[in-house]
Every structure is written in structure tokens, then in C-alpha cells.
Structure 1
Amino acid sequence: MWRWNRGSHGCSAAAQCWGAGAAVGAADDLLIGTGQPLIAEDAVTDARIKDLAAVGALGIGAWAGYPVVSPSGHVLGGLCVIDDHARPFTDTQREALQTLARSVSSEIALRQALRQALASGAAAVELARTLQESLLPPSLPRVPGLDVAAVHLPADATHADVLGDFYDLFRTPGDTWCAVLGDVCGKGIEAAKVTALARYTVRTEATQHPHPATVLRRLHHALVDQTVSNRFLTAALTTFTVRADGSVVGRYSSAGHPPALIRRADGTVQELHIRGTLLSTFFTPEQVHLDETTFTLEVGDALLLYSDGITEARTRRRGPLFGEDALAAALAATATMDASTTLAHLCKVVTAHSGGYAVDDTALLVLRVPAHP
């Protein structure tokens, strides 16, 4: 349970920890009973909670809560905020609270999967695969006016390890969208904890801040504050808008990540290379430098975000790396392909180079502006 500070603009910066066992119990009972969010902008007059002893005893004016659920879908409790005075909760604040509740639910699922994996070695591979899937969106949303696709390729699908590559694509307030692709150092449960923290922090902060560099900076603060692991991560993040004429305008920032690639409609490829420090608990905020640039995609153009698993692909015989030049050449050949076919082509080319052997997992995400009918 959190008490809301008057005048704040979002959950991540608006709540401070506050203990109220009776209020928590009352909120949990309501959320467990319905399984639905509880938004009471005037607690004194809201029929659902006005008779609760906690409302009068604690001076509750407004109440907002979202259920926390188990992996099987059972409601375990709720993540709630309260205010001393009656007040409306904005769409941004509601979305941020809902995101935080999902993050708590994911952490519970993560810990449960870990316990099960430790208890049953035979099921470890399947549990690792399930946990890996929980750290990635089950499907990409439909972005009006864009053709989008993504893929995650584990280095070894038979190994019982959770890997650190992740991606996400989601809508932020207004007509803006956010796409992120990151790579956490290493694998296993430690990498999974950082991946979960990174994904849900980005989702929360992107609803509050329109600039990618600010979102990545807030992610660094979360890594330092939460200290779930000393693993470092790199990430590429873009916020963008599809204009009425079909073109895309966006902002891009990178935290030590391989530069995004733009493939123009004529097949030329250019890098979005920008300065950015990788994110780690070993760095102070003053040591993290993150720049930002803008870009435009016209009809037929495509933006590729990728992890270094594709450029570092090589054969078991320690042959040459696939490399940035080969990736750019493979991408240049996709000028007439849609997003899904583009990814299939890139995977085919890199597999031919490595002979099907991979030393690291790979994540790819493509945003393409299709030709209009």
C-alpha cells in the first residue's frame, strides 16, 4: 500500500512506502473477490469501500488498486495507492500502477519457476523455456500504418538456462509508440531478474518520459536502486509516431548497444550510431552518458534493432565473425521484403555463415513502413 503525494504526476515518482495493515487487508479482500481493478476517486461516497473502517480511521480520500495474480491466474492480493483527498486518477497514473502490479506478478512467477526448477532437474529445460517466454511479449501489437516483426533465437534450445536478450513494443500516451531491444550479460536466473526489471521499468518510465535517453537513464537508476544483480545490460530504445502521410518520425538512444540500422527503400543501409554508456550498478549516475538522435522513415524504409548475437555468430571451428558489414549487406537485400520475411532472410544468411551453431542468443526487431495501396 502506498500513500499518494499531492501534486505528483505518475506512480513511479508519486508514491512513498506507508504501512497500513488494515487497509491492505481490506483492499486485498475486494480485489481478490472481483479480480478487477478498484478505482475509487471519492472513497467516502463510493459504495464499495465507504463502510470500511480503514476509510474513516486512516482518512482515505481516494483509492486505486490493481490485482496481483499468480502464474495460474489466481488473485493473490493487490498493489494499491491512496490519497488523503478525493481526486481523479489520470490514464497515465492508472497505466503505471497496472504496469507495477504486472511486474510484481511476474516476480512471483519468476520465483515460483526457480523453486520448481531447483526441485526437479528433469523439468528444468521446460521451465527455463517457460520463464524465457514470460520475459518476452507473447505477440507484438498491431501498429497502425506499420509492418512489425520480432524474433528471439536461443543459442541452445536444449539447455536449461534463461537468456538475457529481450525486446518489447508498446503504445505510450497519445499517438506515440516505444520499441526497445536489450541484452543482459550472461544467462540464468541472475540474467532473468535483470531482464524482468529492465522490461517493466522501461514500460513504466516510457509512459512518463517521451525522450528515450531519459527512459534509459531512469532504467539505470532502477538497476542501482533495486540491486537485483550486478549484471550489466545494453539497450537500444526508440519512441516514434506514424504521421498522417504514412512516414515515421522518431527519437533514438542507445546504452552501449550495437547501433540500429535503417534500410532505405532503395536498399541503402545507414547506422544510427550514437554515444551511450552501458548500464551497470558499478556506474554512478554521473558516469552514465546517454545521447539522443532523431530519424525519419519514409515509405519502404525499415528500422532494425538487434543484439550482438547475430554479428558475433561464427562456426565451431572459430571461424570469422558474421560481423556488422555482413549484417548490413544481408539487410540491404531485403528492400522488397515485408518485416517477417526480412527477419527470415537475416536468420537464413547468418545460419549459413555459422553452420547452425550459435555462441549467444539473438533478438531482432523490425519496424517497416509499407507501401500504401
Structure 2
Amino acid sequence: MAKKTRPLAGELPRAVFDPARLAAVADSGLLDSAPESTFDDLAQLALAVTGGQKAFFTVADGRRSFWKSAVGVDLAAGRENDIRDSPCHLLIGTGEELVAENAVTDPRIKDLAAVDALGVGAWAGYPVVSPDGHVLGGLCVVDKDARPFTAVQREALRTLARSVSSEIALRQALGLARASAEASAALARTLQDSLLPPRLPETPGLDVAAMHRPATATGMAGAEVVGDFYDLFRTRGTSWCAVMGDVCGKGIAAAKVTALARYTVRAEATQRTRPAGVLYRLHEALAEQQVSERFLTAALAVFRPDADGITGRYASAGHPPALIRRADGTVEELHADGIVLSPEIPASRDHHGETHFRLSPGDALLLYTDGITEARDDNRGPLFGDDRLATALAATRGAAAADTLERLWRAASDHSGGHAVDDTALMMVRVTPGA
């Protein structure tokens, strides 16, 4: 086999040597630093999502690609390679993701020494950026065999790379603004937003909407990252998964559990059709990743649209019951027994039951966190509660999903005088009338 040649320094992208980029790399403080569980966990999730064998989070200066995180690799020989040998310089040059489904034939990377050295059959890399937009390096996954990466896997890797960038941004901003509560709060909100999908996907025949509202209690509004999260995504064929969760506690530790939960559900729901099975695997993941003692509740609905509505299964892990608003305004609770998810509780397939449900045109499914039912005024008056929520939902008969959520939030806010001690997340899936 012909020896693979390295590009000359002059052939590397000019962006590699951009002084502003190199300064951003230095400011990150990541070069020559020890491995950290925060980045290792995200690399592990990248493998879980794709089924690859190796995953890296790399930071590159002008001469080397340093492996801040390397999973599935023997590190006895070191934690870096020459910048000319690694596809990382291509991410820096374009600022865009690079997916090579057959590394030995892809003209962009086939001549790089790392292809042979790491046994690369397929490679997927996504840029990791500094707060001011400079590409610091990349999050990448390696498979020993040539293979495709699905749209779901690519989106998950894209989200994980954004999470790495958000973690870096959070660290730098906290280091520069420890005395500024306002700056810390704004950054925490940025991280919170990174754990939620930027927008829900288009769902033919369905009207979907979601919202997240921060706590407003004194000293809490935006001050800490909280654990509310939601997601809606296609799993396989025409099936969809909707999830709502709430991690106990606040701060970075809660955010790590939130990220683990969201990405694990995305990975497992594409492999399993039963929501109870997805919750079981999430329970196992909490123990496998050795997260803190924090626990979480979650509600999961897996459904398939058909000509007359949707049919699905619903499972819960200690989460408030979902509500169904029928087309005539009747409200029903959707129950499924299940315990909260905690690394302190051994995972069991018997811990989570399932309930079947059917939505016809005009019917809607509401998932929510307890921030809305626990809304109360600052004099500790009565909670908004389950009954008021059901009554408010019934009063939205016929309303579109987004309008319904706004009206529910307004009803809870009016009850509490605009005071909220906890964040609130709401998501609705409505079958379009006449669909």
C-alpha cells in the first residue's frame, strides 16, 4: 500500500493559523488538560447514538489535534496526533460538518494518516466552536467499517457538538463573570435552551407546539439551569416519539443529567417500539454513566399517524399524567404506573407499565411538567393544581396547539399573580381536524 502523504503546512486551511482562532483555543484552557467526565459522557452518547467504536472531542492549535476526550482508544501512546494527519483541520477550514461514509475512498480524507492509524472505515465530524464563533476542534465518531449515518444520527451528533460548545461557553463566561449574577443567569438560560429542541419538526396531519417558561420567583429567574426538557422526533418509518421530563435539582449537575436523558431517549426510541422499554434503558443509562444521586421523572408517548388520527402507547416514570382533550372539550387523564428514574434504584423491566391511547381528528395530547400545577402566589396560596389545569384545558376546546399552551400558561400565571417558583414546560400534539 502506498504510504499516505501529509499535506504541507502551507496546504492546510488558512483558518487553522488564524491568530484569533489560536487565541480562542488558548483561552479555552482545554489543551493539555486531563480528561473530564462531562466531555467523556457526551462522547459516550455519540457512540450510543451511532453504534460506532471510537469517539473523540478534539481541540486543535496550529500543529496538533489534542484529544480532550477519546473513547474506545488505547491512550498509552498519547492523546494527540499531528494536525496534518487528522480530519479536524477540515472542520476548521470549512466550519461545517464532514461525514465520510467510506473513509478509504472519500477524496477529502482518504490520504490522511489517521485513516490507517485509527482504522477508520467511516468518519463523522462536527465543529465545536468558541463563544465568538471560532472553530476550536470537533466532536467525531469513527466506525471501523464503511457505513451510512442516518438523518437521526446526524442530528443527534449535531446536537451533541452544540452541547460541547455550550459547555465551553458556560465555563468561560462563568470564569470571566463570577461577580456578575446577571451574566451568569443569561448564560445559564443559554445552556437551558441548548437542552431543548430549537423548534419542533413538521408533522404531517398533526398540529404540534411546545413552550418553556422560566421561574420568576425572586433570586431564581434564570439564575440556574433547571431540568425541564421535552422533545419530539421521528423514530422509524412513520412512527414518532414525544417525551417530557423533569430532573430533580438545578445547576450544571442537573443539566448533565438532562442531556443524558434527552440523547438516550433519542437513541433508544429508534431501536425500540415500546415506551416502557425506552424508559428501562434510560434507567440503566443513569446507572451506567454513574451520574449523581439526582433522579428524574419522564413521560413518553410513541405513536403512529394513520388516516383517521393516531394510535400510540404511553409510559411514565413518576411523571404527572398526560391529559387528552377530546374534540368535544372532554378532558381525560392518561395514566401509566411507573417509578421515578434514579441511579439509587436498580433498573427493572417491571417498573414501567404502558397504556394504549387513540386520538381522532380534533383530539389533542398534553404533556407537561409540574411547574404549571404547582404555580401559586408569593403568599403561598393554593396551588393551580390538577383540577384547574383540566378545567383550563377543557375551556380551550377547538383551539390550535400553540394557542392552547399560551392560554394554559396565562391561566396559571393569572392564578399565581405572575409568580412561579419552578420552570414550566408544556407540549401538545393535536390531530388536525379533517386530517
TM range (shorter): 0.7 to 0.9
State which drifts further: 36-45 or 275-284.
36-45
After TM superposition, give the deviation of residue 98 of structure 1 in Å: 4.2
Matches within 5 A, 1:166-177: 166-177=229-240
| Aligned match of 1:309 | 371
Amino acid at match of 1:76: L
**Which sections of structure 1, spanning at least 5 residues, go unmatched?**
3-8
Whether the 8 Å contact between 2:300 and 2:316 is mirrored in structure 1 is yes
| Aligned match of 1:18 | 73
Amino acid at match of 1:15: Q
Q: CA, structure 1 residues 211+75, in 2 after alignment: closer, same or farther (shift >3 Å)?
A: farther
Amino acid at match of 1:183: D
Report the secondary structure of 1:22's partner residue.
Answer: strand
Amino acid at match of 1:165: D
Paired with 1:105 and 1:251, the residues of 2 have a C-alpha distance of 35
Report the secondary structure of 2:281's partner residue.
Answer: helix
Amino acid at match of 2:73: W
Report the secondary structure of 2:348's partner residue.
Answer: helix
Aligned mate of 2:276, from 185, 199, 213: 213
| Aligned match of 1:30 | 90
Paired with 2:177 and 2:268, the residues of 1 have a C-alpha distance of 32
Aligned mate of 1:193, from 251, 256, 265: 256
Aligned: 1:372 with 2:410: no
What CA deviation, in whole Å up to 9, does each residue of 1:229-272 have, x standing for no partner? Answer: 32211111112222134x01222111110000001111111111
Aligned mate of 1:279, from 318, 330, 341: 341
After TM superposition, give the deviation of residue 307 of structure 1 in Å: 0.9
State which drifts further: 27-36 or 111-120.
111-120
Q: Percent identity?
A: 65
Paired with 1:53 and 1:189, the residues of 2 have a C-alpha distance of 38
After TM superposition, give the deviation of residue 55 of structure 1 in Å: 3.0
User: RMSD between aligned alpha carbons?
Assistant: 2.9
| Aligned match of 2:164 | 104
Report the secondary structure of 2:178's partner residue.
Answer: helix
Matches within 5 A, 1:37-76: 37-76=97-136
Report the secondary structure of 2:197's partner residue.
Answer: coil
Amino acid at match of 2:280: R
Paired with 1:115 and 1:100, the residues of 2 have a C-alpha distance of 23
Whether the 8 Å contact between 2:376 and 2:384 is mirrored in structure 1 is yes
| Aligned match of 2:57 | none
Q: CA, structure 1 residues 253+105, in 2 after alignment: closer, same or farther (shift >3 Å)?
A: farther
Q: Normalising to structure 2: TM-score of the pair?
A: 0.75
Amino acid at match of 2:181: G
After TM superposition, give the deviation of residue 345 of structure 1 in Å: 2.1
Report the secondary structure of 2:426's partner residue.
Answer: strand
Amino acid at match of 1:315: D
| Aligned match of 1:227 | 290
Q: CA, structure 1 residues 95+343, in 2 after alignment: closer, same or farther (shift >3 Å)?
A: closer
Whether the 8 Å contact between 2:186 and 2:222 is mirrored in structure 1 is no
Amino acid at match of 1:232: F
After TM superposition, give the deviation of residue 43 of structure 1 in Å: 2.9
Paired with 1:86 and 1:131, the residues of 2 have a C-alpha distance of 35
Whether the 8 Å contact between 2:231 and 2:243 is mirrored in structure 1 is yes
What CA deviation, in whole Å up to 9, does each residue of 1:150-184 have, x standing for no partner? Answer: 22222217452222222222223322222111111
After TM superposition, give the deviation of residue 304 of structure 1 in Å: 0.6
Whether the 8 Å contact between 1:149 and 1:339 is mirrored in structure 2 is yes
Matches within 5 A, 1:47-196: 47-91=107-151, 93-118=153-178, 120-156=180-216, 158-196=221-259
**Which sections of structure 2, spanning at least 5 residues, go unmatched?**
1-39, 41-46, 55-71
What CA deviation, in whole Å up to 9, does each residue of 1:107-165 have, x standing for no partner? Answer: 43444454345353342232223222222223222221111122222221745222222
| Aligned match of 1:6 | none
Q: Normalising to structure 1: TM-score of the pair?
A: 0.86
Paired with 2:279 and 2:168, the residues of 1 have a C-alpha distance of 25
